[in-house]
Structure 1
């Protein structure tokens, strides 16, 4: 066996070993969460690795008896879905203007908002909530939460779409201009269909980031607009914690994001790879 063949096999072995380690780092906590969701609280705290402990559905029964979980799922969909839709409405044309007008400074300013800690925005939003009476008005409270989550979703949407717009040659738009297309027609009929993979990535990641975000809902949501992550927090107490209920709640919270990722997998992979290759 030649030295080059040995080196190549060793390189492959190291690569696959890295994949295995990365998979373990990612999947072991997820599998532990799923397993613990079906275990008694005393088994979770007593012996983590006891695989002979009995499985039960009691955590899920307690979850739905203690909370109106369907109601809070609806709240999460309203907040995450609303912030994702608004991020697309503003972010899709904004990314196009940033690329075509060559004004990356505006895009960088939106990125600064995303890079800043979320607690920086909590106090201004809380004061605004008190001023407009959002704490006692469900519609205003949902609107405030959606606007707060735009701090997460809008910069993400813009910066995911910028590489896709950069790949589109100006000659396509110039040809459409010669054919008599208006600026709106050029954008809607020529440019937008070419960035569909990027839009699918932006939808998926924006929804997941907004769905899982905890801080704004904890500080701003009322009892009628509370989303799932804050409800899951109620299983952690100062004196004792219901780890089984927490794991069951975390499992149910993860389901919509996992389903969305599976459904959009084809477009997601195409979009992630398409935006990186020029």
Structure 2
């Protein structure tokens, strides 16, 4: 048998094996995708179903999927006049903290990216790594002496401690992916460095800004620890309001699930409509070089 015939036979065998391997790979990938989706969706599905159950039905395993839905939990939550105020508090704190963090973080990220300020970037990363719980006691002591505890300002400042590093590191990778020729061409055309940043780079960085803003808003909206310690009765946010359904003697699971669904719905809507910005912003700079 000639070498050419042997090579042709080996190629034919490889071609026959390839569809089987590809089929096995596709089956394995499909199983893993389904498993991951179920792991992430099952808690959410259980939360939504529990919001339409009585407390007795929630603990009854025979009524996990087959039960008589009720709206009492949502009536109990939305019937509370203070709950809409809690929604406004969460929105206002998240909106202000996100906006101010972007105003500070975007120019800071541009400076660190263009001027190789590695030490400053390390300090920002250090602020992101420090556990927030370690700052609550000194923050409370300082803000209490200033008379700020219980106001919106202290919540916004505490959230900015985490939101600014998020904005800086997302935008740094985005600015790193932008070619320097854009700025050089704008300087040749007569723009100042600040003008080049405002008129050229900033409009091009909208996807990154949207990503940083969305992720920052989600973190601030969901934050529980800072609001629990630093908020007051008039500035209480939604995560703390959900915790109010836990009492010493009992836990109103149905109301907690209903309140959690109401709190989660805006975030899901924002994430769905802004998905393309999140993906493009998080992958910016990944192919640099």
Aligned-pair CA distance for 1:50: 3.1
Count, aligned residues = 274
2:217 pairs with 1:207: yes
1:190 matched residue in structure 2: 200
2:178 pairs with 1:168: yes
Aligned-pair CA distance for 1:275: 4.1
1:98 matched residue in structure 2: 112
Give me the whole-angstrom Cα distance separating, in 1, the residues matched to 2:200 and 2:106: 14
Kindly report which structure 2 residues correspond to 1:139-150, keeping only aligned pairs within 5 A, or say none. 141-150=151-160
1:223 matched residue in structure 2: 233
1:239 matched residue in structure 2: 249
Aligned-pair CA distance for 1:130: 1.1
2:127 pairs with 1:113: yes
In structure 1, the gaps of 5 or more residues are: none
Deviates further, 174-183 or 59-68: 59-68
1:201–1:267 CA contact under 8 A, matched in 2: yes
Give me the whole-angstrom Cα distance separating, in 2, the residues matched to 1:252 and 1:198: 28
Against the structure 1 CA distance between its residues 67 and 195, is the aligned structure 2 distance closer, same or farther, given a 3 Å change threshold? same
Deviates further, 196-205 or 64-73: 64-73
- Write the deviation string for residues 196-250 of structure 1: whole angstroms up to 9, x where unpaired: 1111111111100111011000000000000000010111223211100000010
2:86–2:236 CA contact under 8 A, matched in 1: yes
TM-score of the pair, normalised by structure 2:
0.90
Question: Which residue of the other structure, out of 67, 82, 102, is the alignment partner of 1:68?
Answer: 82
2:129 pairs with 1:129: no
2:35 matched residue in structure 1: 21
1:198–1:275 CA contact under 8 A, matched in 2: no
Give me the whole-angstrom Cα distance separating, in 2, the residues matched to 1:194 and 1:265: 18
In structure 2, the gaps of 5 or more residues are: 1-14
- Write the deviation string for residues 64-103 of structure 1: whole angstroms up to 9, x where unpaired: 2345211000000111111100110011011101111101
Deviates further, 178-187 or 61-70: 61-70
Give me the whole-angstrom Cα distance separating, in 1, the residues matched to 2:287 and 2:53: 46
Give me the whole-angstrom Cα distance separating, in 1, the residues matched to 2:223 and 2:214: 14
Give me the whole-angstrom Cα distance separating, in 2, the residues matched to 1:195 and 1:275: 12
Aligned-pair CA distance for 1:169: 1.1
Q: Kindly name which structure, 1 or 2, has the bigger radius of gyration based on alpha carbons.
A: 2
2:168 matched residue in structure 1: 158
Aligned-pair CA distance for 1:49: 4.7
2:53 pairs with 1:43: no
Give me the whole-angstrom Cα distance separating, in 2, the residues matched to 1:265 and 1:211: 18
Aligned partner of residue 68 in structure 1, secondary structure: helix
Give me the whole-angstrom Cα distance separating, in 1, the residues matched to 2:130 and 2:60: 40
Give me the whole-angstrom Cα distance separating, in 2, the residues matched to 1:219 and 1:240: 23
